Structure 1
Amino acid sequence: MLILLGFTIFLVVFTVRRNEQREVQDVTIAFSDESAPFVTRETVNKLLIVSSKNGASNAKENLALSTLEKRITAHPIIKSADVYVTMSGKIGVSIEQRKPIARINGNPPFYMDSSGELMPLSKNFSAHVPLVSGTSKKDTLQVYKLATYIRNDAFLLKHIIGITRDKKGEYILEARKQEYKIVLGAIKDLNKRFSNYKAFYQKALKDKSLNNYKLISLKYDGQVVCEKK
């Protein structure tokens, strides 16, 4: 029994040791959202390099997975990463990218993500989000509140393509395929103001009168004030 027990322990240790020394043969990279490739697989592969030659030539025991994850998530467009090694010696990487909700027209331009943080533009992919103009860093919280509201509303997400803050501090919206501007005013009472706009839009669409206006104001409580061309 003692010999059998000793032999079993030897096999377990030998197997584990051999598995750790097995060299990594391949890398599999998966994105949580394949429809928005802000970061390429080539970029992630470069971040995975753990030697001067090739990160896939290292023994499994030498791979510090947490270090690789930190290296990947240090990229300004990547939100999180899960790096693991399979028993067959393959590296697996699951990538979650940050999600833009607005593009700020600055110098240089940049995105605002779903957490309200700023992120750089990507050379690989452009997000279809509202373009924001006339704002500064002190307006970040207001822009985030408005952009998030638009992002979470199916109608507004397809309808609003631009946000401008004028010299009076009022926010003006640009609608897709419409010639008029929407004066939102201050960032408050968004539920009421956009509900009023949706009601106006549906009625004007039915009446075929949308092209008659150059300005739609939502900043007055309980009403929509229109200015014709």
Structure 2
Amino acid sequence: MRAVSGYIKAISLIALVVFLFGFAEKRQKSRKVSEVAVRFTDDENLYVTEEAVNKLLIQNKVAALNMDKETLDLNRVETLLNNHDMIENAEVFLTLDGKLQAEISQRKPIGRVVGNSSFYLDKNGELMPLSPYYSARVPLMFGFDGGNVAEAYGLLDYIKNDKFLTQHITGINRLSTGKFELEMRKLDFLVYFGKAENIELKFNNFKAFYKKALKDDKLNTYRKVNLQFGNQVVCTKK
């Protein structure tokens, strides 16, 4: 009799647990999205804003405040965000209290093409449209289009990783020969770079020249600085 009683109690306990679990699960599914929160993973200026992201989700009817959690498709939300022109990666998840959290990393431009059509070249060497919210402070690119802009990727990628070059180089000109000239900030001379090859060697030569010319107070005496000849820097005076 005692064994039967214990068996009944065990069955009752299991039934209660199953009921409570089912009730909690049903209640959890019936809850609505309490908040849509967007967080950008870096502190840089925004090429797409939180307001724009929320508007995108609402217009495409994939996520909104008070939406039933059961109808929310997180994969669809992530796909929509990752297809945005200004977003490099988006991760979306739902918290226990019903908050839809989107963590977004933006694409990062390293050069801006100026001409009949204007656009950025991003850090991965891909074309990126201009943003209506913010203009990146990157070197301007002249003589480029969508077909040849990748030729300058090696140059721009090297420049963005070098503090000295980032501070001093403001523009890249592509000549009809396919070679490059660099424009300098607050300096009245062009830097003839030649082809986008031996990039590290050429820039190291330029830094050594710049340091020496600055020390000798001769930076303003040059019209052109030529880096294309291997280990030497050839300067043309005004």
Normalised-by-shorter TM-score class: over 0.9
Partner of 2:202: 193
Report the CA distance between 1:54 and its aligned residue: 7.4
From the superposition, tell whether residues 156 and 76 of structure 1 become closer, same or farther in structure 2 (CA, over 3 Å): same
Superposed displacement of residue 20, structure 1:
1.5
Q: Which moved more, 1:52-61 or 1:189-198?
A: 52-61
1:81 aligned to which of 75, 90, 109? 90
Moved over 3 A (4+): 50-54
How far apart are 1:50 and its partner, in Å? 6.9
Q: 1:44 to 1:176 in 2, by over 3 A?
A: same
Alignment equivalent of 2:47, drawn from 31, 38, 49: 38
Could you tell me which residue of structure 2 aligns to residue 219 of structure 1?
228
What does residue range 151-166 of structure 1 map to in structure 2 within 5 Å?
151-166=160-175
CA distance, structure 1, for counterparts of residue 92 and residue 148 of structure 2: 37
| SS of residue paired to 2:201 | helix
Shift of 1:114: 0.8
2:83 corresponds to which letter in structure 1?
A: A
DSSP-derived class of the 1:56 partner: coil
Deviation string 1:69-120 (CA, Å, 9 cap, x unpaired) is 1111221111111111111111111011100011011322000111111011
When normalised by structure 1's length, the TM-score is 0.95
Question: In the alignment, residue 123 of structure 1 is paired with which amino acid?
Answer: P
Identify which of 183, 189, 214 aligns with 1:174: 183
Higher Rg of the two aligned structures:
2
Aligned length: 229
Shift of 1:42: 0.9
Give the 3-state SS of the residue equivalent to 2:134 in structure 1. coil
Q: Any residues of structure 2 matched to 1:15-164 within 5 Å, and which?
A: 15-49=24-58, 55-164=64-173
Structure 2 residue runs of 5 or longer lacking an equivalent are 1-9
Seen in structure 2, the aligned counterparts of structure 1 residues 52 and 163 have a Cα distance that, compared at 3 Å, is closer
SS of the residue corresponding to residue 55 of structure 1 reads coil
- Residue identity over aligned pairs, in percent, reads 42
Aligned-residue Cα RMSD (Å) equals 1.6
Contact 2:62 2:77 in 1 (8 A): no
In structure 1, C-alpha distance between the alignment counterparts of 2:227 and 2:62, rounded to whole Å: 60
Cα distance in 2 between the residues matched to 1:141 and 1:118: 9
Normalised TM-score (structure 2): 0.92
Q: What is the one-letter code of the residue matched to 2:79?
A: K
